[in-house]
Amino acid sequence: MAGSTTYPEEFQTVIRAKDGTEVLVRPLKPEDREKLYQMYSTLSKETNYLRFLIRKPITRWLVEKWTEIDYREKMALVALVTRSGEQEIIADSRFYVDKTTGEAEIAMVVHDNWQNKGIGTQLLQYTIEVARKMGVKGLFAYINPENKRIIHITNKLGFKAKWMSETIEYKIYLPLTKTTNTK
């Protein structure tokens, strides 16, 4: 794994929403705490459920824990837009590397106000690129089988889905190295 304890400046890019809005994507910083909480605390119940697969709002404490990042085994990329001179976090994509397998669990959310504008697809593409550069062997996620949007996007980007009958979820998987078997 090529991760580091210091802030990974190199993982920064600009994407464009379908409506033309410029969106900065960069690793999360500890000082983003309040902006990140602002995004998570204003998600609709449906979006919150699809992201966490639980019907409970996310606490400030948890969001604060997420901003303490050891970049050797975790990565969180946030998408920001600037409105009236103020930066706002509108999406968050993150993965946690399992040191024993070298694979990482990924999860992401785009705020309701910004969904269906092409941001999730581009953010996921960039997250895959970052994971590959960090030497992650494969990315996986557990998703609700009713989540047509993420199924559409991940299919497009090459993830394969497997039905997990014991949890009634899909496990989706994308190998990032040629030697990793598709599970």
Ligand X SMILES: CC(C)(COP(=O)(O)OP(=O)(O)OC[C@H]1O[C@@H](n2cnc3c(N)ncnc32)[C@H](O)[C@@H]1OP(=O)(O)O)[C@@H](O)C(=O)NCCC(=O)NCCS
Cα separation, 129 vs 125, whole angstroms: 6
CB-based contacts of 127, cutoff 8 Å, min separation 6: 75, 77, 93, 95, 106, 108, 139
Closest residue to ligand X, based on beta-carbon distance: 120
The number of residues that bind ligand X (CB under 6 A) is 22
Contact 8, 71 (CB under 8 A): yes
- Point out which span in 6-14, 19-27, 103-111, 169-177 binds ligand X (CB under 6 A): 103-111
Give CA–CA dist 169/50, Å, rounded.
11
What residues from 23 to 52 belong to the interface with ligand X (CB under 6 A)? 47, 50-51
DSSP 8-class letter at 132: H
Interface residue with ligand X, options 3, 38, 102, 107 (CB under 6 A): 107
Q: Tell me if 154 contacts ligand X by CB under 6 A.
A: no
Q: Which is nearer to ligand X, 3 or 118 (CB)?
A: 118
Point out which residues bind ligand X (CB under 6 A). Answer: 47, 50-51, 107-110, 115-121, 141, 143, 147-150, 152-153
